[in-house]
Structure 1
Amino acid sequence: MPEGHTLHRLARLHQRRYAGAPVGVSSPQGRFASEAALLDGQVMLKAEAYGKHLFHDFGPLGSVHVHLGLYGTFTEAKLPETPPVGQVRLRLTGRTHWTDLRGPTRCELLTPDEVDAIKARLGADPLRRDARPDEAWQRISASRTSIAALLMDQSVISGVGNVYRAEVLFRHRINPMVPGRALDHVQWKEMWTDLVALMRKGVRIGRIDTVDDEHLPEVTGRAPRQDRHGGEVYVYRRTGQPCLVCGTPIAHTELAGRNLYWCPVCQAA
């Protein structure tokens, strides 16, 4: 599932290409047809992301809310348009580009109140300037739940997924099973600051890179990571491979139905 940096990259892209001008809106697949007909030719006011949610704001007509889920994808191209390929739920057409959306978990037209209700359910987003990390800390510091589970709870922190979760815990040498209330405030502030920096980097370069310069392949002489997710990471999807810091094989388990990776030595309980 795409993590928060991907949605913020999309929001910035769509803001540049579509906001402030009339936009062609259609649903070649037909599952968003009536909503598309209402919006077609109207001005998109802005595009914004909140956690893993994307909103295209059409003012009083409402906002198109998109959650990509596991299988949703956007494809972007320059004009002229070409015929739709596959099950295109939503097509946006602007002055210079067009965009197709396929396979999202959510693609719906919401009222402003419904958008506000979604945002109210979400925790602090490290990529938003209006984030309130102290509210996240209040939830974490009062919880017996593991910090690994809390970091994936979108009502606590919004936009963090499996990769950022595993990597930020390793970078701060925190065992994933430590209860939230066992963290101290200094640890939390350092983790939050790191998440902000890592995710902003993800927005900038379009992939998740979490490895410090001293552990990069060109410095250590190891082979670059080969993985469809791209990016250099410490523990994510490196089960059994040596830790880049201590050499211990990276461990793996499942937590709440999601894969969890950590170094048993660097992140000892």
Structure 2
Amino acid sequence: MPEGHTVHRLAAEHRRVFGGERVRAESPQGRFAAGAAWIDGRVLAGAEAHGKHLLVGFEGERVLHVHLGIYGTYGFGAVPAPEPVGAVRLRLAGAAGFADLRGPNACELLEPGEVKRLRDRLGPDPLRADGDAREAFARVARSRVPVAALLMDQSVVAGPGNIYRAEVLFRQGVCPDVPGRELGWERWSALWDDLVVLMREGVRTGRIDTVRAEHMPEAMGRPPRVDDHGGEVYVYRRAGSPCLVCGGVVATRVVGGRNLFWCPGCQGA
């Protein structure tokens, strides 16, 4: 599932390609035909992300809400747009480009009250200007749940997924099993600040890189990582490999329904 930085990039691309323009909309697949008909011919007024949720505003009060889920993809291209291929849920087209949405978990039009309810159930987003570390900490500090699970709970902090969870815990030397209420503000604020840095870099580059300069392949004389997620990481998908910092063996187990990766030597058992 795409992590929050990807959705923020999608919002920026909507603003760049379609912002202030009357767009054409259709649902070649047919599953969003009524919604596409409402959008068709309206001006795209803005686009933003909150965590893994994309919110695209048009003239009128309704907002297009997209959540890609595990299988969703959103691709942009130049005009003239080719004939749609595959199950395209929504195609937006403007003077300079088009965008095809396939296989999302959610593609719907929301009224203002529904948008508010969506936002209310999400935690603060480290990539948003209104993201508040203390608001997130208020939820963390009263929880018995391990921090590794809390970082995946979108009602606590919106945007991070499995890669950022593993990497930020490693970078800050935090044991994944520490309950939220035992974490403390200093360690939480360090995790939050690091998420801000890492995720902003993800927005800039379109990939997740978490390894500091001294541990990059060229600095350590090691081969670069080869993985379909791209990027250099410390522990994610490196189970059984030596830790880049202490040389210990990277471990893995399931936490919150997803594979967690961590270094027992650098982060505690």
TM-score range, shorter chain: over 0.9
Q: How does 1:134-173 map to 2 (within 5 A)?
A: 134-173=134-173
Q: Which residue of 1 aligns with 2:248?
A: 248
1:186 Cα deviation (Å)? 1.1
Q: Which residue of 2 aligns with 1:54?
A: 54
Q: Which residue of 2 aligns with 1:125?
A: 125
Secondary structure of the structure 2 residue equivalent to 1:37: helix
Asked if the contact 1:238/1:261 (under 8 Å) is kept, the reply is: yes
Q: Which residue of 1 aligns with 2:229?
A: 229
Q: Tell me the distance in 1 between the aligned counterparts of 2:108 and 2:133.
A: 29
- The answer on 1:99 being equivalent to 2:99 is yes
Q: How does 1:76-115 map to 2 (within 5 A)?
A: 76-115=76-115
**Identical columns (%):** 58
Q: Which residue of 2 aligns with 1:258?
A: 258
Q: Tell me the distance in 1 between the aligned counterparts of 2:233 and 2:187.
A: 21
Q: Which residue of 1 aligns with 2:202?
A: 202
Structure 1: unaligned runs, 5 residues or longer: none
Q: Tell me the distance in 2 between the aligned counterparts of 1:171 and 1:256.
A: 20
Asked if the contact 2:152/2:256 (under 8 Å) is kept, the reply is: no
Secondary structure of the structure 1 residue equivalent to 2:91: strand
1:60 Cα deviation (Å)? 2.3
1:59 Cα deviation (Å)? 3.7
The runs of at least 4 consecutive aligned structure 1 residues that moved more than 6 Å come to: none
Q: Which residue of 1 aligns with 2:267?
A: 267
1:181 Cα deviation (Å)? 1.1
Q: Tell me the distance in 1 between the aligned counterparts of 2:212 and 2:39.
A: 46
1:61 Cα deviation (Å)? 4.4
Q: Tell me the distance in 1 between the aligned counterparts of 2:159 and 2:110.
A: 21
Q: Which residue of 2 aligns with 1:74?
A: 74
Q: Tell me the distance in 1 between the aligned counterparts of 2:253 and 2:59.
A: 45
Q: Tell me the distance in 2 between the aligned counterparts of 1:141 and 1:113.
A: 29
Q: Tell me the distance in 2 between the aligned counterparts of 1:28 and 1:56.
A: 20
Asked if the contact 2:11/2:48 (under 8 Å) is kept, the reply is: yes
- For 1:71, give the aligned amino acid: Y
Q: Tell me the distance in 1 between the aligned counterparts of 2:94 and 2:112.
A: 23
Asked if the contact 1:5/1:202 (under 8 Å) is kept, the reply is: yes
Asked if the contact 1:253/1:260 (under 8 Å) is kept, the reply is: yes
Asked if the contact 2:91/2:101 (under 8 Å) is kept, the reply is: yes
1:257 Cα deviation (Å)? 1.2
1:116 Cα deviation (Å)? 1.2
1:256 Cα deviation (Å)? 2.0
Secondary structure of the structure 2 residue equivalent to 1:100: strand
Q: Which residue of 2 aligns with 1:176?
A: 176
- For 1:132, give the aligned amino acid: D
Q: Tell me the distance in 1 between the aligned counterparts of 2:175 and 2:30.
A: 47
Q: Tell me the distance in 2 between the aligned counterparts of 1:222 and 1:239.
A: 17
Asked if the contact 1:39/1:61 (under 8 Å) is kept, the reply is: no
Q: Tell me the distance in 1 between the aligned counterparts of 2:35 and 2:249.
A: 51
Secondary structure of the structure 1 residue equivalent to 2:47: strand
Deviations 1:119-154 (A, max 9, x none): 111001000001121111011111110000000000
- For 1:25, give the aligned amino acid: A
- For 2:83, give the aligned amino acid: P
- For 2:237, give the aligned amino acid: R
Structure 2: unaligned runs, 5 residues or longer: none
Q: Which residue of 2 aligns with 1:17?
A: 17
Q: Which residue of 2 aligns with 1:238?
A: 238
Q: Tell me the distance in 2 between the aligned counterparts of 1:144 and 1:61.
A: 40
- For 1:236, give the aligned amino acid: Y
Secondary structure of the structure 2 residue equivalent to 1:109: strand
